[in-house]
């Protein structure tokens, strides 16, 4: 396992991050109902990830009914000294209760949300606390001041954001600088071989301002795992079998060509398809750590192959070419003029 700075922060994290969204399978209200795992399996995944050198785990209050995934992870963190062996990240923003202030990123909501996450996670601090999506109803300086207070109180060590528009991300950075507030260290965002939109604005912004990118859904809901075929129905019980609307998002000729190239490179290198897709992201500019999920140990081991995989330059070039992003205006105009992107 390799380690990198968590964006602009000094702490080191593994280049693969275990996503805990699948932790806990309670009932139909669970965020990952029918595609999650039980508590025993979740704890086994954490043990195996730690044994492989992984030290970065990401969760969110909204994963599972009443913070189920945080509670499952908290039970694991509370035993055998695990809390001090990992860099712990969680998120807030989406609805946790039906009250008017049960959703959002106001100061009122944040001071309540952090206490609830600390309780569920059975810890005295959150290493990386992230706003799960920008809130159009809350001024960025209110959000940043509240998060800055949490850092000063020692309840949070670093702050990050997720699912931010590029303009809002840059606005946040400058607001922090102008008001001497804590600055986001990371951006968590969707990024994969079949979803490269981040490269238009977010990647250049993160490179300029020192934010580390934490890609989520790096396998495109499992599409890039190698278990799906263009002319066949999804395997019974698989994530895209249970969530056919997600499959419709990826069931396009261009994406099947990308998957075909990933599989070819995996065969050439003697590794898993998932490992190739993850390793491509690990080697992209501004990426700090790639967040992957797993429902069982077999999936975890297939993904962990990416930890030691360095894709040759020609493999990176092939993957870049087959998954090339349609930049659109004005990015394509700029690219033709200055040979960027």
Tell me the catalytic residues.
63
Is the CA virtual torsion 16, 21, 24, 25 positive or negative? negative
* DSSP string covering 213-224: EEEESTTTTTGG
**End-to-end C-alpha distance for the chain, whole angstroms:** 29
Residues 6+ apart with CB under 8 A from 312: none
Handedness of CA 151, 168, 101, 25 (dihedral sign): negative
In DSSP notation, 287-325 reads B--EEE--SSHHHHHHHHGGGG----HHHHHHHHHHT--
In sequence order, what E strands does the chain have? 3-5, 12-14, 16-19, 56-58, 87-92, 126-131, 156-162, 186-190, 212-216, 290-292
CA distance 13 to 87: 7
Instruction: For strands 126-131 and 3-5, give the pairing.
Output: unpaired
Residue 73's nearest CA partner among 33, 126, 28, 115 is 126
Comparing CA positions, the residue from 183, 215, 185 lying closest to residue 199 is: 215
Q: Residue 42 in contact with residue 295, Cβ under 8 Å?
A: no
Which of 19, 161, 11, 147 is CA-nearest to residue 84?
11
DSSP letter at 234 equals P
How far is residue 82's CA from residue 80's CA, in Å, rounded to a whole number? 6
């Amino acid at each position: 396992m390799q380690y990198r700075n968590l964006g602009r922060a000094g702490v080191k994290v593994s280049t693969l991050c275990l996503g805990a969204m699948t932790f806990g399978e309670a009932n139909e209200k669970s965020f990952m109902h029918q595609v999650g795992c039980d508590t025993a399996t979740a704890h086994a995944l954490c043990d195996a990830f730690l044994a492989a050198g992984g030290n970065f785990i990401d969760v969110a209050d909204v994963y599972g009914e009443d913070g189920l995934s945080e509670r499952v992870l908290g039970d694991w963190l509370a035993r055998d000294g695990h809390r001090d062996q990992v860099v712990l990240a969680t998120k807030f923003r989406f609805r946790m209760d039906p009250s008017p202030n049960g959703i959002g990123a106001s100061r009122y909501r944040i001071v309540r949300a952090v206490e609830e996450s600390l309780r569920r996670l059975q810890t005295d601090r959150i290493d990386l606390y992230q706003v799960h999506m920008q809130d159009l109803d809350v001024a960025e300086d209110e959000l940043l001041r509240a998060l800055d207070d949490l850092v000063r109180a020692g309840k949070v060590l670093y702050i990050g954001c997720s699912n931010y528009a590029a303009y809002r991300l840059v606005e946040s950075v400058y607001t922090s600088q102008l008001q001497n507030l804590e600055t986001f260290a990371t951006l968590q965002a969707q990024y994969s071989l079949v979803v490269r939109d981040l490269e238009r604005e977010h990647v250049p912004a993160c490179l300029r301002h020192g934010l580390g990118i934490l890609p989520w859904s790096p396998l495109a809901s499992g599409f890039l795992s190698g278990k799906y075929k263009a002319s066949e129905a999804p395997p019974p019980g698989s994530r895209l079998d249970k969530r056919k609307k997600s499959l419709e998002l990826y069931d396009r000729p261009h994406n099947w060509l990308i998957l075909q190239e990933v599989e070819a490179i995996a065969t050439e290198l003697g590794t898993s398809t998932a490992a190739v897709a993850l390793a491509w992201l690990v080697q992209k500019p501004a990426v700090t750590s790639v967040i992957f999920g797993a429902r069982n140990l077999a999936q975890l081991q297939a993904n962990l192959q990416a930890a030691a995989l360095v894709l040759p330059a020609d493999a990176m070039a092939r993957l870049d070419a087959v998954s090339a992003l349609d930049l659109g205006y004005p990015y394509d105009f700029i690219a033709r003029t200055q040979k960027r992107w």
